[in-house]
Amino acid sequence: MANFAGSPQFKVYETDFGWGKPGRVELATMTRDGRVVIVSGKEEGTVQVSVALNAQHMDAFARMLLS
């Protein structure tokens, strides 16, 4: 089972709290197997996809992704 969340329209890399734009953005709660988060990417027109998997699922996911 996978849990997908995200909003490519939420410009996370445009957020500036007064010390400049972030160099990297990650969701702090990426601890459950099968969690996928999609946000707008650092560069215009891109998206960032973060995936959390147990070690036993990572090899299968890598094979599927790279095939």
More confident residue, 65 or 2: 65
Q: Which two tokens stand for residue 58?
A: 């990572």
Give Cα separations from 28 to 35, 44, 51, 56, 64 (angstroms): 12, 24, 12, 22, 26
Stated pTM of the model: 0.63
Residue 62 has pLDDT above 80, yes or no: yes
pLDDT digits (tens, 9 = 90+) for 8-45: 677 778 888 899 988 887 776 777 778 888 888 888 88
Give the per-residue pLDDT at 14: 84
